[in-house]
Structure 1
Amino acid sequence: MKQGQGFLLVFSITSMSSLNELAELREQIIRIKDDENVPIVIVGNKSDLEEDRAVSRSRAFALSQQWGNSPYYETSARRRANVNEVFVDLCRQIIRKDIQASQERSMELAMNGRNGGGVGGADRHRRHHGRLRNHRRRTKVKGDCVIL
């Protein structure tokens, strides 16, 4: 959890207890990450077992709203329904958060006067931002996906 940038919280639509267990998982994630805005997607799996449904769509959706409008999907691994969409959504959230953090760092540097000014400031600015771009590229190449 400590290294994760985003999380899929998956439960079975045929088991209310599996949905209830997500609350504890989410609390652990928020506590460990020390961040209320961790990218999370809530996934109700086994949508192909509609006749055995124990968790209504409205109950799961209400939980997703309660947890900061986290996206909610219903998937079927057996039928491969909505599986790719879940990962795409999570990746988009992670990228958005990464861009936002980068912009906030740039603003912070600008506010502190570290991005230029004085002799050679523009060169320092270009070198600094070049390092950020290179670091991002390296990070993307080294990124891991861990599914628990």
Structure 2
Amino acid sequence: MTQNTNNYKIIVLGSSGVGKSALTVQFVQGIFVSNYDPTIEDTYKKWLEVDGRRYLLDIWDSAGSEQLLGMRDRYYSEAHGFVLVYSITSETSFQDAQNICNEIIDIRDRDDVPIVLVGNKCDLDDEERVVSKFAGARVANYELKCPFTESSAKNRVNVEEIFVEIVRQINRQKVITDDKVRSGSGRKWYRRLSKCYIL
């Protein structure tokens, strides 16, 4: 991947209707889009400052995971990091996010891929919630071993924090890879980047 060291490709993934586009547009443009036509691929660019450095993010807003199958290998191989989104009102989307994570790890053939798990629509009433915050944190910590947060695209809750964290995860992965190259070790790395924590 011959990319500028401060230019990262990030894919936003998840089932249809979980709010991927709403999160992405809220982050890039600062507006909430309640109705968004499903697309195979939308791309956005945005500069973001993280820990004193500026990064140009190429953000790929994917269609629902079921529409992505034909391009999955290319998507997963070219990206630097992944934001996996589910809706807290849908157990199915929660399971889909976990399945997507496992597919990414299988295709990349390593388990230190930078990933953030996001439970979207946390602004909704408790009566509409199906997936608890505890369940999301538990899966992220013990199964996916990645950072986790809940967000609201509508109220801009934790929207920028998601992308700040994925940049940090990418940077940590680069340090691990660079150390491996310098050490001359031929074995693969099989450890996650960090313990999960709630942003």
TM-score by length of 2: 0.52
In the other structure, the counterpart of 1:39 is 114
Take 2:98 and 2:161, find their aligned partners in 1: how far apart are those partners?
23
In the other structure, the counterpart of 1:71 is 147
In the other structure, the counterpart of 1:6 is 81
- 1:21 aligned to 2:96? yes
Q: What are the Cα deviations for residues 77-103 of structure 1, in whole angstroms up to 9, with x where unaligned?
A: 000110111111111010111122112
In the other structure, the counterpart of 2:167 is 91
Deviation (angstroms), 1:6: 1.3
Runs of 4 or more, structure 1, over 3 Å off, are none
Contact 2:87 2:94 in 1 (8 A): yes
Contact 2:116 2:148 in 1 (8 A): yes
Greater helix fraction, Structure 1 or Structure 2: 1
Identity %: 37
Deviation (angstroms), 1:45: 0.3
Question: What count of residue pairs does the alignment treat as equivalent?
Answer: 109
Q: Aligned letter for 1:101?
A: T
Take 1:47 and 1:61, find their aligned partners in 2: how far apart are those partners?
14
Take 1:23 and 1:73, find their aligned partners in 2: how far apart are those partners?
15
Match of 1:82 among 142, 154, 158: 158
Q: Aligned letter for 1:78?
A: K
Match of 1:53 among 129, 135, 143: 129
Deviation (angstroms), 1:44: 0.3
Q: Aligned letter for 1:103?
A: D
Greater strand fraction, Structure 1 or Structure 2: 2
Q: Give the SS at the match of 1:43.
A: strand
Deviation (angstroms), 1:107: 2.3
Structure 1's unaligned 5+ residue stretches are: 110-148
Q: Aligned letter for 2:139?
A: L
